[in-house]
Chains A and B, each alone.
Chain A
Amino acid sequence: NAGVTQTPKFQVLKTGQSMTLQCAQDMNHNSMYWYRQDPGMGLRLIYYSASEGTTDKGEVPNGYNVSRLNKREFSLRLESAAPSQTSVYFCASSVQGDSGANVLTFGAGSRLTVL
């Protein structure tokens, strides 16, 4: 049981280049999320998908787009990368818990450097 799988694990981009981070979960979870982690700032929500076919902005969505391709997959795209997007990106998924409380399962992270 793989859980949440993210690819790639490492990526170096030049300013202005585009790329897509892929995420897949095999737990039949309804909800999926993309977070970024920066030193001293904890994890901040970029986008989330409460269920297949829906996506919503989180705290820091600017410069990103997402696609919920199906129930398993949720991709994050950087159309024109900027140095400020250098970060570690985490994908997560959850079953919509009782009363809306979500216990998240995280992937191992993708480290992105933008030069």
Chain B
Amino acid sequence: AQSVTQPDIHITVSEGASLELRCNYSYGATPYLFWYVQSPGQGLQLLLKYFSGDTLVQGIKGFEAEFKRSQSSFNLRKPSVHWSDAAEYFCAVVPILTGGGNKLTFGTGTQLKVEL
């Protein structure tokens, strides 16, 4: 079945430490890939996206993500986490289908806690 998996429900890191949030997808072909962030009580904000080309994509707030076709993964990284990065992070995909159909499907999210 087609799916998006974020295996880590909660992650805690110390401020200044590096961060990697995992995302795996299961689709027949490489979908379009996104990372969104949700701060408490807020809507979702796009961090970055991958459509094609360079497999390392840069986003806002110092985040980057690397697409690895062989692993069906699109992991989100940040070299040094700030306390303001505490939020919930969602990986999302749009399957590339012929004949239309481009609905965004979200993973279940990873809650990031930052210890000072």
- A residues bordering B, Cβ < 8 Å? 4, 33, 35, 40-45, 48, 58, 90, 92, 98-104, 106-109
| B32 CB contacts on chain A under 8 angstroms | 99, 101
Other than the given A99-B32, A100-B94, A106-B43, 17 more pairs (CB < 8 A) read A41-B108, A42-B108, A42-B109, A43-B90, A44-B106, A45-B103, A45-B104, A90-B43, A99-B96, A100-B102, A101-B32, A101-B49, A102-B94, A104-B44, A106-B45, A108-B42, A108-B43
A-B contact count (CB 8 A): 56
B43 touches A107 (CB 8 A): yes
Question: Across the interface, which residues of B come within 8 angstroms of A48, CB to CB?
Answer: 103
Question: What CA separation (Å) do A14 and B2 show in the bound complex?
Answer: 36
Interface residues of B (CB under 8 A from A): 9, 32, 34, 41-46, 49, 51, 90, 94, 96, 100-109
- Select the residue from B9, B49, B101, B102 with max chain A CB neighbours within 10 A: B102
Q: Interface on chain A toward B: helix, strand, loop, or mixed SS?
A: mixed
Could you name 9 residue pairs across A and B whose Cβ atoms are closer than 8 Å?
Answer: A42-B107, A43-B90, A90-B43, A90-B44, A98-B51, A99-B32, A101-B51, A104-B46, A106-B44
Residue from B44, B94, B106 in contact with A101 in the complex, judged by beta carbons closer than 8 Å:
B94
Most chain A CB neighbours (cut-off 10 Å) among B42, B90, B94, B104: B104
Complex alpha-carbon distance, A104 and B44, angstroms: 9
Chain A residues whose C-beta falls within 8 Å of the C-beta of B100 in the assembled complex? 100
Which chain A positions have C-beta within 8 A of B104? Answer: 33, 45, 102, 104
CB distance from A95 to the nearest CB of B (A): 12
In the complex with contacts A101-B94, A101-B102, A102-B94, A40-B46 CB distance below 8 A: no
